[in-house]
Structure 1
């Protein structure tokens, strides 16, 4: 909207960039869950031999 002040849009743009960078940095540094180690060989404990 051209009738609004350009400084207002500049502040909104910098706020958007700040929130975007905060979002990406939080996604990079904070992991929501522990990754499972696939090198462990415990698959035989959950294996069930089905007999029909």
Structure 2
């Protein structure tokens, strides 16, 4: 029946959007940064202002 077609489109849209949301959350929470320990010191330039 053609009257039921919008209901099918609605269920398809809801299912695809839920899959998209779940895929994005899984990718967001499964990503882990590589911790880099840098031993470089930051140089601080002490300026001596002579007024």
TM-score by length of 1: 0.57
The answer for the alignment partner of 1:6 in structure 2 is 7
The structure richer in helix per residue is: 2
Q: After superposition, give the CA deviation of every residue in 1:3-46 in whole Å (9 maximum; x if it has no partner).
A: 65201110110100000111111111124x54566xx7855x42
* Separation in structure 2 between the aligned mates of residue 10 and residue 46 of structure 1, nearest angstrom: 60
Distance 1:6 1:51 in 2: 76
> Larger Cα Rg: Structure 1 or Structure 2?
2
Structure 2 gaps of 5+ residues are none
C-alpha spacing 1:29/1:12, structure 2 compared with 1 (3 Å): same
For 1:25, the equivalent position in structure 2 comes to 26
